[in-house]
A and B are shown apart, each in its own frame.
Chain A
Amino acid sequence: MSFRNSVTIIASPRPRVGKTLLARLVTDFHRQESRLVAAFDLNLGERTLTQFLPEYATIATVRDIGGQMALFDRLVADDGSTKVIDLGHESFESFFALAHQIGFVEEARRRSIAVAILFIVTPDQTSVEAYRKLRDRFAQATLAPVHNEMLGPAQHRDKYPLASGGQVVMRIPALAPGLRKYIETPPFSFADSNMGNAVGIPLDIHIELQRWLRRIYLEFRELDLRILLADLQASMRFGS
């Protein structure tokens, strides 16, 4: 199993920590790697992911059985696409409770689909407890804490124990506030070679954005290796 055939869930029980930005980055990373990708927007308020990725993102919900079937049946479908979920904080509890109840991670594993949970860490107790619960519930998934450096310096790494020795904290490097306006205004795509429709973007800023993006994509490639490693470890642990 690898990142190529995976369901990546971007999660945090807190709002405004950079989940949608990370979901956009993961989706565009797969696009740049020439993979088929389907993204799911589970935010109740602004449909930011859908605004940035109208051709790739679908609005999804777990609030009713119809929505649950539309989402989870698609996530485990063998349709050749890798999936990315932008999990809004309002849906955090219900999504993972349902995933646990119906055995989503186990089913995905049976179908050779890797499940990665990218958990954006914050120092509050709610997040720490939610992370601990995910570790307990989803032992067969790759649970990666993500430090979004745009939220400030990390003071809380010890609160988020890593699932295995081979894992490290994933980092989203800080981006100068002056540069953020370019990536936070749709339409904008990291996958386009000219950085989307940000026409008139100054060359020095373009170079800086590319440099920032390369560092993030490097983190994703490391995640791919971690998924392979986790798969190997799980195979040894569960004998499958």
Chain B
Amino acid sequence: MARPAVILVGADKGGVGKTTVARTLIDYFGAHQTPTRAFDTEAPRGTLKRFHPELTEVVDVTLVADQMKIFDTLGSADAKVTIIDVRAGLLSSTLQALGEIGFIESAKKGQITFAVFHILGPSIASLEEIAETARVIGDANYFLVKNFINNTTFFEWDPSTYNSYFKKIKGADEITIPKLNEMAYEQVEVSSVPFVSFVGNKGAKGEAANNSFVLRGYVRHWLGNVWSEYDRVKLVDIVSPKVESNVRQVAG
């Protein structure tokens, strides 16, 4: 049976674009025909659920019952990939909880594929988070995500300071989310549909929409660049390693 994969999308600050990144991930796996489910931890009202209502469940990750809903079903769920959009400020505590329930240990043993998308904020405090998060996650695939979607002058860090932190993290990879035209971004927000639906000029129920061709073009171009980043880090291979390699191993 295929190994389940869990992707945690989080940051210790709000407003850095966690849900936007989670949405691009759901679209990306959808495009790769990888069955995916998502948990939105912004209980009781989830932004991610607004865009992907059929795939998303709103949970309170601090409650044991909801932790069971996510992690006890990893092996039995139809979805191969589980994306958890962690509410602002809960990344560290969520990782701590994962450690306590033995999840991180399972990932270390290779029973579960675990990846963390750490969305970075503009301040030096975010760099402190990197070290803190890296300490907790063990052997997980760790991605530091610079999200430029809303602001071109977002990162004003001293590059040498950033690099000194970045190099401390063994195996960490960097992902850059480029800027998207503000009006295009706002229009997708108003439409409350996945990015791919907006590009395809579809409404929430798959009906034909009347979105601007120009704005759709901007979103398509941007989404293509984001997906190129995911391709670059071989995200599909990470969550579903090629069967051929297992076959080769078995064949000796």
- A residues near B (Cβ < 8 Å) are 65, 68-69, 72-73, 76, 101-104, 107
Contacts and interface: CB of A to CB of B under 8 A. Distances in A.
A38 to B, nearest CB: 16
27 contacts: A65-B181, A65-B183, A65-B184, A65-B214, A68-B214, A69-B212, A69-B214, A69-B215, A72-B213, A72-B214, A72-B217, A73-B212, A73-B214, A76-B213, A101-B217, A101-B218, A102-B213, A102-B214, A102-B217, A102-B218, A102-B220, A102-B221, A103-B220, A103-B221, A104-B217, A107-B213, A107-B217
Of B213, B218, B220, B221, chain A has the most CB atoms within 10 Å of the CB of B213
B114 to A, nearest CB: 36
Contact of A101 (B213, B215, B221): B221
Q: Is the interface of B mostly helix, strand, loop or mixed?
A: helix
Contacts of A69: 212, 214-215
Nearest to B215: A69
A177 B37 CA distance: 72
Interface in B196-216: 212-216
Contacts of A68: 214
A152 B212 CA distance: 43
Interface in B176-196: 181, 183-184
Given A65-B183, A65-B184, A73-B214, 18 more contacts: A65-B181, A65-B214, A68-B214, A69-B214, A69-B215, A72-B213, A72-B214, A73-B212, A73-B213, A101-B217, A101-B221, A102-B213, A102-B216, A102-B217, A102-B220, A103-B217, A103-B221, A104-B217
Interface string B140-152: 0000000000000
B149 to A, nearest CB: 16
B94 to A, nearest CB: 38
A76 B184 CA distance: 18
Interface residues of B, number: 12
Q: Is the interface of A mostly helix, strand, loop or mixed?
A: helix
Nearest to A107: B213
A103 B221 CA distance: 9
A117 B214 CA distance: 20
Nearest to B218: A102
A102 B212 CA distance: 11
B102 to A, nearest CB: 48
A103 B218 CA distance: 9
A220 to B, nearest CB: 27
B86 to A, nearest CB: 33
Interface in B34-88: none
A107 B213 CA distance: 8
A183 to B, nearest CB: 35
B185 to A, nearest CB: 11
B184 to A, nearest CB: 8
Contacts of B181: 65
Contacts of B217: 72, 101-104, 107
A104 B213 CA distance: 9
Nearest to A108: B213
Contacts of B220: 102-103
Contacts of B184: 65
A215 to B, nearest CB: 37
A102 to B, nearest CB: 2
Q: Which 9 A-B pairs have the closest CB atoms?
A: A102-B217, A69-B214, A72-B214, A101-B221, A65-B183, A68-B214, A69-B212, A76-B213, A73-B213
B147 to A, nearest CB: 21
B190 to A, nearest CB: 15
A73 B201 CA distance: 13
Nearest to B220: A103
Contacts of B216: 102
A65 B213 CA distance: 12
A69 B212 CA distance: 7
A65 B187 CA distance: 13
Of A68, A102, A104, A107, chain B has the most CB atoms within 10 Å of the CB of A102
A103 to B, nearest CB: 6
A102 B214 CA distance: 6
B76 to A, nearest CB: 41
